[in-house]
Structure 1
Amino acid sequence: MDEENKETVVLGAISRGISKFEKISRESNVSPKDLESILKKLENSGLIKVDEKKGWLGTKIEINPTENGYKEFERQLKILQEKWNQLENTYKSGNKQELEQKLKEDKSFLPSMMMFGIIDMMMFSMMFSMIGSTVGSFIPADDMGGTDNNVEDMEGTDMGDDGGFDIDIGF
């Protein structure tokens, strides 16, 4: 993910109410070192403010968006939505070469679109099917937010054979 998209993802996480450094790093899939420089840049731009609160257990640091930060995030979301709409329209036109070209041009925006739920995954998979490619060839696995592929994430899940549906209708 390029620097601009990392900034958008971090600002988005903060705008959605995540205010702790560790949680922002985890949710945005950005290393603590990169996150520190991004936060400094966002603070210098006036998009976030860093508050130190003193409590019984020591100093607590909270990171919150400013009004300008909210506006900038909304502007970035609108841009991402417009890019997605263009991709959808290109797919619907049936022009395989144009779709492949647009996907390559917007490659760096795809992880952000996934992160913010802009992408319709069914449409997305049909796009890749149309051009005869896979998502992995466009987006590295480490850029796909929320898809860590960790076995530990599956703890406590029921992998039973009934598909999760257990309905007694009384017959």
Structure 2
Amino acid sequence: MEPEPKDLIVLGAIKNGIKKFDKIKKTTQIDAEELNAILESLEKRGMISVQEKKGWLGPKVELVTTEKGDREVDERVHEMQEKWNQMSLLYKSGDKQKLKQYMDDNKSFLPTMMFFGIMDMMMFSMMFGMMGMMMSDYVPQESIPDGLEGDGMDGGADMSDGGFDFDIGF
């Protein structure tokens, strides 16, 4: 059973060593109620286990991935890498229609690709520029890294005066 993209993001965060609920919540930017439901689902499916450890201030709960969870993350990351490679090829070929269709078909995986660092963000923003679209048409605003909120057309540069402005420090 293929996990939903948010499930995969949470599973990946845990696999990468984020073991506490609050840190997972902060890293994944998923609200507490939804995160709790995702964690319960992952535990029921045998992807994670809950471990209680003794700490100085009393017992503490840590979440860890199981072998099944590790395999799932590795397989999905590999699949997303293949999807990104296909998107890159479509971009390099200059076929706007095929690229747009491919991105439409794989829209739900774009935030997950960002989370796992699979995509080249510069190329991704240039894809939107080529298609004359905004990144927020495909990716939720909270998932877009700082500095890339622009429309993707010019990489955020202000060229309203029609020319380039280079400051060489003299």
TM-score range, shorter-chain basis? Answer: 0.7 to 0.9
Counterpart Cα distance in 2 of 1:33 and 1:147: 26
Distance in 2 between residues matched to 1:10 and 1:90, nearest whole Å:
29
Quick one: structure 1 residues 51 and 148, their matched pair in 2 at CA, closer, same or farther if it must change by over 3 Å?
farther
**2:134 is equivalent to residue 134 of structure 1:** yes
Aligned counterparts of 2:93 and 2:123: Cα–Cα separation in 1: 13
Runs of 4+ in 1 over 6 A off after TM superposition: none
Show the 5 A alignment for 1:1-171: 4-144=4-144, 147=146
Q: Following TM superposition, by how much is the alpha carbon of 1:104 offset from its aligned partner in structure 2, in angstroms?
A: 1.4
Residue by residue over 1:92-135, the C-alpha shift from the partner in whole angstroms, topping out at 9 and shown as x without a partner, is 22111111111111111111111111110121122111111111
Aligned partner of 2:77: which letter?
L
SS in 1 for 2:60: strand
- Distance (Å, rounded) in 1 between the aligned partners of 2:138 and 2:65: 31
Q: Report the alpha carbon displacement of residue 50 of structure 1 after superposing the two structures with TM.
A: 0.1
Supply the distance in 2 between the matched residues of 1:75 and 1:132 (Cα, whole angstroms).
33
Which one has more relative contact order, counting CA pairs under 8 Å at least 6 apart? 1
Q: Which amino acid aligns with 1:143?
A: S
Letter in 2 for 1:99: L
What letter corresponds to residue 18 of structure 1 in structure 2?
Answer: I
Residue by residue over 1:134-158, the C-alpha shift from the partner in whole angstroms, topping out at 9 and shown as x without a partner, is 11222121233x5499xxxxxxxxx
Offset from partner CA, 1:37-86 (integer Å, 9 cap, x none): 11111111111110112333122000001111111100110111111111
Number of positions where the alignment pairs a residue of Structure 1 with one of Structure 2: 146
CA distance in 1, matches of 2:73, 2:147: 25
Displacement, 1:32? 0.9
- TM-score, normalised with respect to structure 1: 0.80
Q: Is the contact made by 1:142 and 1:148 (CA closer than 8 Å) also made in structure 2?
A: no
Cα 1:121–1:143 change in 2 (3 A) is: closer
In the alignment, structure 1 segments of 5+ residues that lack a partner are: 150-171
CA contact (8 A) 1:25 1:35 kept: yes
Name the Cα RMSD after superposition: 1.8
Give the residue type in structure 1 aligned to 2:12.
G
Unaligned stretches of 5+ residues in structure 2: 149-170
Distance 1:30 1:148 in 2: 21
Classify the secondary structure of the residue corresponding to 1:92. helix
